[in-house]
Amino acid sequence: MKNLKLEIYTPSGMIFDGEVYSVTLPGAKDIFTVLKDHGAIISSLKKGVIKYKIDKDDEEVFTIEVLGGFAEVKKNVVTVCLETVIK
């Protein structure tokens, strides 16, 4: 895998499944960014914004405003389960 795989789920189903360069998450204690080869982690998420970039040199940053949930990072796969997406 070239980068990270990002999977984002809501109670309605999967809303994103793709390869990204980085993802920034609103962790319960602080915002954190995940890059390729990040150590394994599970974190609850608070209200905030998930940001992800598809390519390292790409200036476009995609955002999803969320109310909370949790994230798991394991073997270059970031799985995010959300309670609600605001937009």
pLDDT of residue 85: 81
Q: How many structural domains does the chain have?
A: 1
Would you say residue 28 lies in a domain? yes
Is 87 a member of any domain?
Answer: no
pLDDT (tens digit per residue) in 31-76 = 999 999 999 999 999 999 999 999 988 889 999 999 999 999 999 9
Q: Would residue 43 count as lying in a domain?
A: yes
CATH number at residue 27: 2.60.15.10
* pLDDT score recorded for residue 3: 87
| Domain range for 9 | 4-82
Stretch (H or E) spanning 24: strand 22-26
Q: pLDDT value at position 7?
A: 98
Structural domain contains residue 25: yes
Tell me how far apart the alpha carbons of residues 58 and 62 are, in angstroms, rounded to a whole number: 11
pLDDT band at 84 (very low <50, low <70, confident <90, very high): confident
**The model's pTM:** 0.92
Residue 35 inside a domain? The answer is yes
Q: Residue 17, exposed/middle/buried by CB under 10 A (0-12, 13-18, 19+)? A: exposed
